[in-house]
Structure 1
């Protein structure tokens, strides 16, 4: 008899969750959800496939988005149900009318886009410090004006690895900062241009965009698909 009563109580509780909005919202918006049947991230084996491409470095372009130029940015999902959710930013950048309408495209000198994510903090307080650099050549007035604007401007940086995965550096409240340093060279064969060093703070070694940005379009490139 007791077993039937338990089953009846479980059935009535399930029906209450489904049919009563207040109960449904309480269960699935509170810490009770942690103890229910929702999936959660966890450790899995890391198996590397033989013969897999693994070219280092990043493609020769970056995107810069000032924090005050957008009203919404890609972020990690509020509810994490899979390991990929830990390192994926969903959504897209939203730009208000009358301001900047797209991310700022920056073409970089070949092989100069670099990214690392070192650990920081003491035991039980470890996080990461994503950082890197890129180089823009020349002595253009537009570049020097950009340097003046970017030096103390928090924002978001997007880089793209050689596999085409786009990484986001910076999150709301944990912005990316860029420090430009110009070198004019001395000898005729010296490199001339600006080296940009960027840094941020993060709980992840990398954060990937779920919806990639069409960087070719921002660069003014037209990609022709032979099969199309």
Structure 2
């Protein structure tokens, strides 16, 4: 099938609008996921069994159920309980909760890999626990986490077509609407794929640069 460049140019603004929504939802969802992941990873080291149990339940649920099911539950089930959220807010929360569980495990892993001597030396200097986390442990966890966080951020971009099921006008939804109106599928979906590549490649390069800089 021939590629209609004139049509592609004419539908580009609609797809760029969808891309803008995608980028906004993903960045907000990623920030939420990092905050949740850090909070869960720290809470897992709590001395309270109840706190550790709640963390395990959270991780077990969000890592064992598909993101699509979670989005459906947030968007369609919560209103039955009297809590209705805008579609974009639901998408941000859904991505944040889902990826927060995976990021929590990644953070826990890198913290567990920090040599025990680092903890012992910090406490021997009579540093309080908050200072130990802020000045000793988390800075050491930052570098090995970078490539993992980069992969999860790219993964979020690739998951965004699922947001179309809750009516978020993201990139895939925009391409779907354009193809439905024009009856041309090659152009909108090709442009969509190129836009995903245009986001994913620089993102991967950025995290690679940050990791090399930390090594330097």
Question: TM-score per shorter chain, which class?
Answer: under 0.3
Q: TM-score, normalised by structure 2?
A: 0.24
Structure scoring higher RCO (CA < 8 A, sep ≥ 6) equals: 2
Higher strand proportion, which one?
A: 1
